[in-house]
Amino acid sequence: MNDQSLEKIQLLTDLRFGYFNSDYYNFLANEHKKISNFGLNDYLAISSDKKLRQLEADNSLFPNDCQLQPPNLLPEVEEVLSLIFERSVILVPDQVQVYSEIFKAFSHKTDAFIFNQYAQTKIQIAADVLRKDGRDVFCLPYNRFDILEEQLIKLKSTHKHVWYLTSSIYSTTGNVIHIDLLKDLLMRYDHLRVLIDDSHGLSWTGKNGQGFAWKLLSDFPNVIFTASLCKGFGAAGRVLIPNYQKMRDTISREILRCGSVGLLNTYTLNVIRIAAMIHLSPEIYVRQIELQNRIAYFNAQAEKLQIPLESHSNTPIGFVHAGKPGLCQELSSNMQCKGFYLSPITYPTLPINSSGLRVAISLYHSKATIKKMLLALKTEYEKSLKKRGLKLSDNLISSEI
């Protein structure tokens, strides 16, 4: 082992990362064997950090009645979060009602709303509420910015603003939004408003873990950035960052926090604060590098084994095509028998013949575990295809599967 490797190990030891000596949350309970969990969205394993586990052991933060936030705690936590994003942050519970309140506060009655077909579920629910209220709401195919531009031109004369509601990273396949095309539309159409959810991009990439979308869109005044803290922080909150002062002033904190949205409790706020301090330390970059190494290894091994991934994108979400739901469910079940849980994604989340297995790569998984999982997947895949008279190289999206 060279000096550089020893230095790196010493750095990791000094930072006392929880995930290097703990399989906390890494395995699913089973009567016969441990099942390695590839279904977690805790990509940087922050939920199992020692500091958070010590907090969890503090019984004073688990009162019988839900203890609401002390008057000064929420502003303190928001201030720490603001250091991460270098912009004022509003912290709210991660509830569907948050989006409804956002649109109520920011939109005009003549605004139109367009969401992409793979937008986060809470966005789609809020869009449905808007439709029932008589607003014009449209759904577009994912990443079809040519169609979005057509709608922007068509709706300009009849609608004050056109809102585009989207996720930055599709949670099922790991596909990423074409931000460059979105930026181009923002520069050319003043009536375009964008709400972008970066829940699956937060923490594992970007300065201070700012995420996938923030750096690229933070300078556009007509953008509202939001992200759940469940994945990157292991907490139940959601950050909301309007990009210009008028938007920030328009938000009624009383409505968002004291109305239908509710409050964050003391324990959640303390979890967010501890996780935020990790983001503001050198530790976040070591975690990011470690995860990127695992992602690259997963992609390379999957390609070597000819496992049909949706893409080899640099995200912690892999998607293995499996075609019809029957094959997908069979693969998921067989992989559990082999000691690995891969989330089956089938109709109606995806078209009937486009099912697949979602693979979430995280710091809970060593390269050895990833390789063992992929070898088992290749074996089980070939067995299931052989039963159907098919080969791994066949078109797995065809109706024949």
What angle, 0 to 180 degrees and rounded to 10, lies between the N-to-C axes of helices 283-304 and 3-15?
Answer: 120
Average pLDDT over residues 284-296: 95
Tell me what percent of the residues of the chain surpass a pLDDT of 70. Answer: 81
At 72 the pLDDT is 81
pLDDT classification of 59: cutoffs 50, 70, 90 = low
Please, what's the b/e burial string for 177-199 (b: 16 or more CB within 10 A of its CB; e: otherwise)?
bebeebbebbeebeebbbbbbbb
pLDDT classification of 248: cutoffs 50, 70, 90 = low
CA nearest to 381, candidates 331, 344, 321, 342:
331
At 68 the pLDDT is 56
Of 67-71, 102-106, 253-257, give the lowest mean pLDDT range: 253-257
At 118 the pLDDT is 80
Tell me the pLDDT tens digit for each residue of 152-189: 999 999 999 999 999 999 888 888 999 999 999 999 99
pLDDT classification of 15: cutoffs 50, 70, 90 = very low
Average pLDDT over residues 115-142: 86
- Mean of pLDDT over the chain: 83
Of 244-258, 297-311, 336-350, 361-375, give the lowest mean pLDDT range: 244-258
Of 33-42, 72-81, 236-245, 246-255, give the lowest mean pLDDT range: 246-255
Tell me how far apart the alpha carbons of residues 171 and 317 are, in angstroms, rounded to a whole number: 7
Global confidence as pTM: 0.86
Q: Is the pLDDT of residue 12 over 60?
A: no
Tell me what percent of the residues of the chain surpass a pLDDT of 90. Answer: 52
pLDDT classification of 30: cutoffs 50, 70, 90 = low
